[in-house]
Structure 1
Amino acid sequence: METEPASEPKPGLFLAFEGVEGSGKTTQVALFAAWLRERGLDVVVAREPGSTPLGERVRQTVLGEVGLHVPPRSELFLMLAARAAFVEQVVLPGVAAGRVVIADRFELSTLAYQGAGRGLPLDEVIECNRIATGGVTPDATVLLDVDPEVGAARQRAEGKSADRMELEDVAFHGRVAEAYRAHAARVAGIVRVQADAPRDEVQRRVREALAGRLSETFPATGFISR
């Protein structure tokens, strides 16, 4: 009796969640990942920078060492070194194995923070990022849109210790927020979700915004926005 060849694993999906400090990315990623797992999907939750040995060291340096002076271009290349490892070691293997890889931040953060926030030339940032990712981009990016002042108030209410990026001044975070909105208006694949509501309502909006894309990739899963 002839045995049928093993079927190739169905390609997975790569999603990213973005937003200013306090926009609720980590919370919404966790809720969305749990919702997908309840529907039988294999989900990998990751963070940027991080989720690889190199990425976690970069995270500790760039975000954790609050008193460290890091020149803007040095910050950019540290972030992109972590991203290159992240793509190679987390994203590509996960998607190839049919998993849904969800990143808490990815390339849009670099355009907003190191580009607009730090004032580096956007075309140079885009080209450097392309080299780091090898051209890999998310299938969809969820932008949790909230004013920086609202995000900062949320973090104060939670008693969260500020990292090096969060300690930047109001003008910096304003530039970051405007850059996010500008990119959302002109870049395909960015799904803008208003995040100035209670977490469960924001999660409903996230599911509704992504249901169509996920249904195309996993038609048997029965994605519905509830």
Structure 2
Amino acid sequence: MHQGLFITFEGPEGAGKSTQARRLYERLQAAGYPVILTREPGGTRIGELIRRILVDLRHTEMAPTTETLLFSAARAQLVSELIRPYLATGGIVICDRYADSTFAYQGYGLGRDLDELRAITAVATGGLKPDLTFYLRIDVEVGLQRKRAGRERPEANSGQPVEWNRLDARDLAYHQRVAQGFAELMAQEPERWYALDADQPLDVLAEQIWQAVTPRLARITPIAAQGSAD
């Protein structure tokens, strides 16, 4: 059991998980908690290089096994370099996507063998699982429309251009399998997952997330308190 608190955000494309992950990070930081925000794939120099390969729309020939192993390689680097060390200090790690995405996207979406994925993921993570995973639920078609709108009209996403990547461009049936995969993952571990309706005002959703996180903060020492104890 690690000392810190590991929180992940999952959901279909366009659910707004990156926005909510950042809002939670900013609120925890403002409250004086030791917290970092990272993402998958990426979060490290090596991971970001792998991300470029994975998301590039030109790489249509990428084999499902290659895709799976690249995601897992980026994850292994992130866990080793960033997540485990920070949790060991008693801090909070918020990660925008994690291993559940591999099961949903490469497992249920691409039809990869789930037992094989479990074995690969165990190697990549050393068995590290989140303490809490938020799933932002949204209709798949609505989410994809949202993401397209953000890409074409940055003002729809607070002025920030949205990445439209190789996985986003897959057909609707693929994204529907991914959503079903997430539903099955939640059914298998209901104690870890916290599902929320993404089609709510941002502030309402952020407050629901905060209320779910607050009881778990008792084991985390705020930075100010750490300083006074030295």
- Find the counterpart in structure 1 of residue 199 from structure 2: 196
Which of 8, 12, 27 aligns to 1:16? It is 8
**Residues 90, 220 of structure 2: 8 Å contact kept:** no
Counterpart Cα distance in 1 of 2:82 and 2:94: 10
SS for the counterpart of 1:66 is: coil
- Find the counterpart in structure 1 of residue 155 from structure 2: none
**Residues 66, 163 of structure 1: 8 Å contact kept:** no
- Find the counterpart in structure 1 of residue 121 from structure 2: 129
Closer, same or farther: CA 217–171 of 1 in aligned 2, 3 Å? same
**Residues 14, 143 of structure 2: 8 Å contact kept:** yes
Structure 1 residue runs of 5 or longer lacking an equivalent are: 1-9, 222-226
Closer, same or farther: CA 161–99 of 1 in aligned 2, 3 Å? closer
Length, aligned pairs only: 211
Q: How does 1:36-115 map to 2 (within 5 A)?
A: 36-115=28-107
> What TM-score results when the alignment is normalised by the length of structure 2?
0.86
Identity percentage of aligned residues: 37
- Find the counterpart in structure 1 of residue 178 from structure 2: 176
CA-based RMSD of the aligned residues comes to 1.8
Structure 2 residue runs of 5 or longer lacking an equivalent are: 153-161, 224-230
- Find the counterpart in structure 2 of residue 218 from structure 1: 220
Q: How does 1:126-165 map to 2 (within 5 A)?
A: 126-158=118-150, 159=152, 160-165=162-167
Counterpart Cα distance in 2 of 1:161 and 1:40: 31
Counterpart Cα distance in 1 of 2:36 and 2:222: 20
Do residues 117 (structure 1) and 119 (structure 2) align?
A: no
Q: Following superposition, which runs of at least 4 residues in structure 1 exceed 3 angstroms of deviation?
A: 65-68, 218-221
> What TM-score results when the alignment is normalised by the length of structure 1?
0.88
Residue 212 of structure 1 deviates from its aligned partner by 2.2
- Find the counterpart in structure 2 of residue 167 from structure 1: 169
**Residues 22, 152 of structure 1: 8 Å contact kept:** yes
Counterpart Cα distance in 2 of 1:151 and 1:209: 24
